[in-house]
Chain A
Amino acid sequence: MNRMSRFNAVSLTLGFAFLYIPMIILIIYSFNESRLVTVWGGFSTKWYGELFQNEAFLNAAWVTIKVAVMSSTIATVLGTMAAYVLVRGGRFMGRTLFSGMIYAPLVMPEVITGLSLLLLFIGIGLDRGVMTIVLAHTTFSMCYVSVVVSSRLVTFDKSLEEAALDLGCSPAESFRLVTLPIIAPAVISGWLLAFTLSLDDLVIASFTSGPSATTLPIRIFSAVRLGVTPEINALSTIMISIVTVGVITASLVTKRQMARQKAEERAAERG
């Protein structure tokens, strides 16, 4: 590989510094002995200990994880189905309209999505709680899943499904036995994407959550308004590490699988 020019090295350093210095400072201060966030009082892990005593945070964390798992799972199922129909359904009435509409929530300001969902829930008299957050998160993360999955389906060799039909599969069996195993990496990355989106959503959750259920981002946000405590730093550090580990493993796994399957498929066509 070429050695980097000085200009590139400087740009890279600046860019990464810009991105990561705030986080690094946060992580460092989470190990601060002092209660004052901006004064270094020596190394300590006591805030982590205190964090795990804090009932409110633990509850919020549990709600967040429940919501993320449920909403990303539902979104993956619905998003995959939508992608399949839009890519494979052939030409049907309003197909272009539908495929355009599936992207709309991606560009819609979150405030508007949140507000309209809130109005809907009030309109149909649904009590706000875990359920409404799950529904709301499913709504917006589903489009991300369907975008990821449909980009995979576009390159999927249709004759594989035909071969499955030819060998006696019903269309549903052909999807389950052939299509799904092959597009699995895309479906998994869709799920991970939906999961992370749900995990860090503040805006939509604050519209659709109720007194019975609060997610972690909301809890942090309201706590911070009363002043940043080292506990929050500790919590954020934990979240950063979870997300980092998650993202790195997910990208490694999917990257490797995608590469392998691409190679297999290319080879399975005449090679």
Chain B
Amino acid sequence: MTVSEFEPWNDPEAKPLIHFQNVTKRFGDFTAIDDLTIDIYEKEFYALLGPSGCGKTTLMRMLAGFETPTEGTIQLAGQDIVGVPPNKRATNMMFQSYALFPHLSIWENIAFGLRREGMAKDKINDRVEEMLRLTRMEKFARRKPHQVSGGQRQRVALARSLAKAPKLLLLDEPLGALDKKLRQDTQFELMDIQEKTGTTFVIVTHDQEEAMTVASRVAVMDHGQIKQVATPAHIYEAPNSVYVADFIGEVNIIDGTASPNGEDTYAVKWCDNHAPLNAASPLPFSEGQKCHLAIRPEKVSISADKPEGAANMVQGKVHDIAYLGNISTYYVELPTGAIIKAQTANTRRIARRSFTWEDTVWLSWTATAGVLLAE
């Protein structure tokens, strides 16, 4: 993949396309965006992730020009755009509520922006047909928005925002109402479009798998603040806080206190009757500092016999098993009452599974499997 080489955020020379500088947005005395500073580079696929009400749509609306920041500045290609009206911005937004024009047909909805641009008739025709094909809505072109299904409306909204091929595309949950197959296809279409046209995408999604698939970087938000911005792999493997670790994917969190026992390695004391756990961390922890060990379930091995020479091992009882087809998640209860999740691929038929409920099992993981977090 060439994607790994695309890292303008690591290049001190690179100029961001979008620059938020200490942006705060208040509605009355409610702070929706809280002192936010971010850079988004050209040709990025920037995914915003966060719980409902954390300010994702508000951030988008400031980029599109529907809200002005209470404090701070927003720059697009080096120009301050606060105060530039939405119709004068080279951005298009796909609304979370779709906002399709109910009095126009689907064809006319998609053509709306092109007509405003004063594009020639036959060019508009071609472009609209292309968008209809892309979103597989050819058959419904003459219908009104209320005559198609929810997922189809979502595709029309997507087509309408894509039609003008803007420099910056803001997609507010563009694929939420689509079935998995169509969603994956559309994700790849989006990535394809982006490769061809070099459009910069900012996309809100509740589906972290989607964020992982399409994003060049993922920003995790909470209460109007950005908790972490990083590549999907980095955010998954090296979250910077329990909040991020917990938000992206599944994770086991073990609370304890750290004490250094080597270069970049720590012993984590987590329970009086058990040996401390071993964990490596590039971040420094002082003796006795409170810490949280975050381990992804798929990095925890489960076995019936005591594993040889593992850096960390604990014994527990199988409390529950979640069978997900390709993988199974075992919920193992430790003697302390804590539950640790361990995931294994189901390479065997279900009947041949080696453990079942109430079995005593060993869990083990390496010193580098987990991430040691301060908060």
A contact set with B: CB distance below 8 Å: 157, 159-160, 162-170, 173, 177-178, 181-182, 261, 263-271
Contacts and interface: CB of A to CB of B under 8 A. Distances in A.
Nearest to A174: B87
Contact of B145 (A159, A169, A170, A268): A268
A261 B177 CA distance: 23
B86 interface: yes
A157 B116 contact: no
B103 A159 contact: no
Contact of B86 (A165, A177, A268, A269): A165
A270 B160 contact: no
B95 A159 contact: yes
Contacts of A177: 112
20 contacts: A162-B86, A162-B99, A163-B95, A163-B160, A166-B93, A167-B112, A167-B113, A168-B164, A173-B116, A177-B112, A264-B146, A266-B146, A267-B102, A268-B100, A268-B101, A268-B146, A270-B98, A270-B150, A270-B153, A271-B150
Nearest to B61: A162
B117 interface: yes
User: At the interface, is chain A mostly helix, strand, loop or mixed?
Assistant: helix
Q: Which 4 A-B pairs have the closest CB atoms?
A: A267-B146, A167-B113, A264-B102, A168-B116
A168 B153 contact: no
A263 B85 contact: no
B146 A168 contact: no
B99 A160 contact: yes
Contacts of B93: 163, 166
Contact of A269 (B87, B91, B97): B97
B102 A166 contact: no
Contacts of B177: 270
Interface string B148-172: 0010010000001000100000000
B66 interface: yes
Contact of B87 (A160, A170, A265): A170
Contacts of A165: 65-66, 85-87
A157 B86 CA distance: 17
B101 A269 contact: no
Nearest to B154: A270
Contacts of A166: 64-65, 86-87, 91-93
A67 B116 CA distance: 39
A41 to B, nearest CB: 57
B290 interface: no
B43 interface: no
Nearest to B103: A181
Interface in B224-268: none
A195 to B, nearest CB: 24
Contacts of B206: none
A86 B131 CA distance: 38
A261 B113 contact: no
Contact of A264 (B116, B117, B145): B145
B144 interface: yes
Nearest to B86: A165
A160 B177 CA distance: 20
Given A162-B66, A167-B164, A271-B153, A264 B144 contact: yes
Interface in B77-109: 85-87, 91-93, 95, 97-103
B101 A160 contact: yes
A9 B349 CA distance: 74
Contacts of B103: 178, 181-182, 261, 264
Given A263-B146, A268-B100, 4 more contacts: A160-B101, A178-B101, A264-B103, A267-B146
A104 B101 CA distance: 35
Contacts of A163: 93, 95, 99-101, 160
Residue among A178, A181, A263, A270 with max Cβ neighbours from chain B (10 Å): A270
Contacts of B160: 163, 167
A148 B177 CA distance: 36
Contacts of B92: 166-167
B99 A157 contact: yes
Residue among B64, B86, B97, B113 with max Cβ neighbours from chain A (10 Å): B86
A157 B100 CA distance: 10
A261 B102 contact: yes
B177 to A, nearest CB: 7
A48 B66 CA distance: 62
Given A166-B92, A167-B164, A159 B116 contact: no
A168 B102 contact: no
Contact of A167 (B65, B116, B144): B116
B375 to A, nearest CB: 36
Contacts of B116: 167-169, 173
A263 B177 CA distance: 20
A265 B150 contact: no
Contacts of B153: 267-268, 270-271
Nearest to B116: A168
A268 B150 CA distance: 8
